[in-house]
Amino acid sequence: MSTLLIKNGRIVTATDDYYADLLVDGETVAMIGKALSVQADEVIDATDRLVVPGGIDAHTHLDMPFGGTVSADDFETGTKAAAFGGTTTIIDFAIQTKGESCFKGLDTWHQKAEGKATIDYGFHMIITDMPVERLPEMSKLADEGVTSYKLFMAYPGVLYVDDGTLYRAFRQAGQDGTRICMHAENGIVIDEIIREAAADGKLEPRYHALTRPTRMEAEGVHRAVAIAEVAEVPLYIVHLSSADALKEVKRARMRGVDVTAETCPQYLFLDQSYYFKEGFEGAKWVMTPALREKWNQDVLWKGLEFGHLCNVATDHCPFCMKEQKELGLGDFRKIPNGAPGVENRLSLMYHGCVVEQRMSLNRWVELTSTAAAKTFGMFPKKGTIAVGSDADIVIFNPNRRETISVDNPFTHHMNVDYSAYEGFEVQGWSEVVLSRGRVVCRDGKLETEGGGQFVRRARVGELLR
Ligand code: URP
Ligand code: ZN
Ligand code: ZN
């Protein structure tokens, strides 16, 4: 096993901030101390750099069949791009096909990832139906380290499940000590609004947003909260996009309901005006929920600051403009829903939190790494820097500026032909990225490929060794 000494860095976790040296022995952090005098196979000088836990993106869709095509990043390209951006663990979504066992879906996703992933990965399980006789499967999944589920109120006829199914799955998940992730949007009403728009010939990309009112997201949150409360299960609202929806989360939390929510960089940095760009350009941002009116951004930033929003994930679900988004030329209903972002999260959030002085360095680390580790059963193996933790470490240059662009080799390795953040200037860049002790990326070059492992996650409230 090789050793690596990181010297003179400023170690920042969700709670600490100090200057020290750090010794990695094999896959884990072995020692942290002042001016460590130890021999190591490799020494990295981290003067003027932040040394932070590797990012955790709790919401990605790699190699996912969706919208008549398959997301453009698979586990090989997607995890490399994530690593370039300082993310060392993802939680992707395995899908259970209607009428089939969750384990079949899980096997399929293991096959997609095994031998291809460069960073570590876990799986949430998407449930598309759950008759009473199959409920015991859920308990077995938890034993396999799949301790969270995603269910959809959106996408009728595809991933949507009815309220009865929600209740059954919620109840079982609660009894098993697992967590429910909810896509909260009233897809049934939204489909009616879409039908009306289409009947009026309103088929340009902007109608994707105009047919998905924030009230329908808020209604979804409200309903999910009520069902979770009765079913007694911890609830996590995914990709929360609007002030309307956040209000429902706050209300529930004030009542003492165990509900938290994530938002995504796209809802913090982008807005509905992107759909009004020339021609078919708006298709780049056709995602669900849709981008909202700009004033929502401030409310979401405040939600992160005050803790009603607990995590920032990307919902990375890339589709190329060419041949994929183009499926919806002339009809927004056929544009595959999703956008890329897994590579840009740490820099964008550093810029938005620290450079723009909204939040502390600690809160930035918490929002991009620690909170996901704690929420999804990976702490303290992941999500912090401590003796015994996995050496998933980012040496972060807080001063380096980059302009995010599909043409910038320092910001774009995702297998997709555009950037959702084209032209955004950000300060802060992941310079060296370690995954379980291996240097994966250094100065924009990939040094290690493959080697990512499945993370068997713990149940809610349990620590992962
Ligand atoms: O548009 C999106 N978000 N695509 C991925 C599927 C989902 O709802 O998360
Ligand atoms: Zn969703
Ligand atoms: Zn998603």
Question: What is the secondary structure of 363-417 as a DSSP string?
Answer: HHHIIIIIHHHHHTT-TBTSSS--TTSB--EEEEEEEEEEE--TT-TTT--SSSS
Q: How far is CA 248 from the centre of its chain?
A: 21
Distance CA 403, CA 357 (A): 20
Q: 174 in ligand 1 pocket by Cβ < 6 Å? A: no
- In 3D space, the residue among 76, 72, 53, 54 whose CA is nearest the CA of residue 64 turns out to be 72
For residue 336, the CA-to-ligand 1 centroid distance in Å is 9
Ramachandran region, residue 345 (left: φ > 0; alpha: ψ -120 to 50; beta: rest): alpha
Mutate which of 71, 317, 333 for ligand 1 pocket (most atoms within 8 A of beta carbon)? 317
User: Quick one: pLDDT at residue 1?
Assistant: 85
465 by Cβ neighbours in 10 Å (0-12 / 13-18 / 19+) ranks as exposed
- In 3D space, the residue among 192, 109, 196, 119 whose CA is nearest the CA of residue 144 turns out to be 109
Indicate which residue's Cα is closest to atom 7 of ligand 1.
Answer: 288
**In the predicted model, is pLDDT for residue 283 greater than 90?**
yes
Split at pLDDT 50, 70, 90, the class of 50 is: very high
Percentage of the chain lying above the pLDDT 90 cut: 100
**CA angle (165, 171, 175) in 5-degree steps:** 145
User: Quick one: pLDDT at residue 201?
Assistant: 98
Return all residues near 315 (Cβ < 8 A) that are at least 6 apart: 59, 60, 61, 238, 239, 264, 266, 287, 338, 339, 341
Asked, for residue 31, whether it belongs to a domain, the answer is: no
Mutate which of 239, 275, 292, 416 for ligand 1 pocket (most atoms within 8 A of beta carbon)? 239
**In the predicted model, is pLDDT for residue 187 greater than 90?**
yes
Q: 64 in ligand 1 pocket by Cβ < 6 Å? A: no
For residue 340, the CA-to-ligand 3 centroid distance in Å is 11
Asked, for residue 27, whether it belongs to a domain, the answer is: no
Residue 95's DSSP bridge partners are: 126
Indicate which residue's Cα is closest to atom 4 of ligand 1.
Answer: 338
User: Quick one: pLDDT at residue 113?
Assistant: 98
Residue span of the structural domain in which 319 resides = 53-375
User: Quick one: pLDDT at residue 385?
Assistant: 98
Q: What is the CATH number of the domain that holds 220?
A: 3.20.20.140
CA torsion, points 102, 108, 112, 118, in degrees to nearest 10?
Answer: 40
- With 0.95 as the threshold, say if the pTM is over it: yes
Q: 289 in ligand 1 pocket by Cβ < 6 Å? A: no
Residue pLDDT, tens place only, 408-460 = 999 999 999 999 999 999 999 999 999 999 999 999 999 999 999 999 999 99
Asked, for residue 425, whether it belongs to a domain, the answer is: no
Beta strand pairing status for 259-263 and 148-152? unpaired
Indicate which residue's Cα is closest to atom 5 of ligand 1.
Answer: 338
Which residue reads 């005050």 in tokens? 306
Q: Among all ligands shown, which has an atom nearest to the Cα of 208?
A: 1
Asked, for residue 459, whether it belongs to a domain, the answer is: no
Split at pLDDT 50, 70, 90, the class of 59 is: very high
Asked, for residue 351, whether it belongs to a domain, the answer is: yes
For residue 187, the CA-to-ligand 3 centroid distance in Å is 15
Helix (H, G, I), strand (E, B) or coil at 142: helix
For residue 258, the CA-to-ligand 2 centroid distance in Å is 20
User: Quick one: pLDDT at residue 122?
Assistant: 98
Structural tokens at position 284: 């780049």
28 by Cβ neighbours in 10 Å (0-12 / 13-18 / 19+) ranks as middle
Residue-wise DSSP of 163-210: HHHHHHHHHHHHHTT-EEEEE---HHHHHHHHHHHHHTT--STHHHHH
Asked, for residue 447, whether it belongs to a domain, the answer is: no
Percentage of the chain lying above the pLDDT 70 cut: 100
Q: 209 in ligand 1 pocket by Cβ < 6 Å? A: no
Q: 337 in ligand 1 pocket by Cβ < 6 Å? A: yes
Beta strand pairing status for 50-53 and 3-12? parallel
Asked, for residue 161, whether it belongs to a domain, the answer is: yes
User: Quick one: pLDDT at residue 22?
Assistant: 98
How far CA 389 is from CA of 5, 459, 465, in Å, comes to: 15, 18, 8
Q: 287 in ligand 1 pocket by Cβ < 6 Å? A: yes
Residue 7's DSSP bridge partners are: 45
Q: 54 in ligand 1 pocket by Cβ < 6 Å? A: no
- In 3D space, the residue among 89, 1, 42 whose CA is nearest the CA of residue 384 turns out to be 89
User: Quick one: pLDDT at residue 98?
Assistant: 97
Q: 288 in ligand 1 pocket by Cβ < 6 Å? A: yes
Q: 317 in ligand 1 pocket by Cβ < 6 Å? A: yes
Distance CA 136, CA 269 (A): 42
Work out how many domains the chain is built from and give that number.
1
Split at pLDDT 50, 70, 90, the class of 316 is: very high
- In 3D space, the residue among 104, 162, 103 whose CA is nearest the CA of residue 128 turns out to be 162
Indicate which residue's Cα is closest to atom 2 of ligand 1.
Answer: 338
Q: 324 in ligand 1 pocket by Cβ < 6 Å? A: no
How far CA 50 is from CA of 199, 235, 298, 401, 442, in Å, comes to: 55, 33, 27, 15, 15
Residue pLDDT, tens place only, 139-183 = 999 999 999 999 999 999 999 999 999 999 999 999 999 999 999
Distance CA 291, CA 269 (A): 10
Ramachandran region, residue 224 (left: φ > 0; alpha: ψ -120 to 50; beta: rest): alpha
Indicate which residue's Cα is closest to atom 8 of ligand 1.
Answer: 288
CA torsion, points 77, 395, 351, 374, in degrees to nearest 10?
Answer: 80
Asked, for residue 461, whether it belongs to a domain, the answer is: no
Q: Among all ligands shown, which has an atom nearest to the Cα of 92?
A: 3
For residue 324, the CA-to-ligand 2 centroid distance in Å is 19
Residue 37 belongs to what H/E stretch? none
Distance CA 276, CA 399 (A): 34
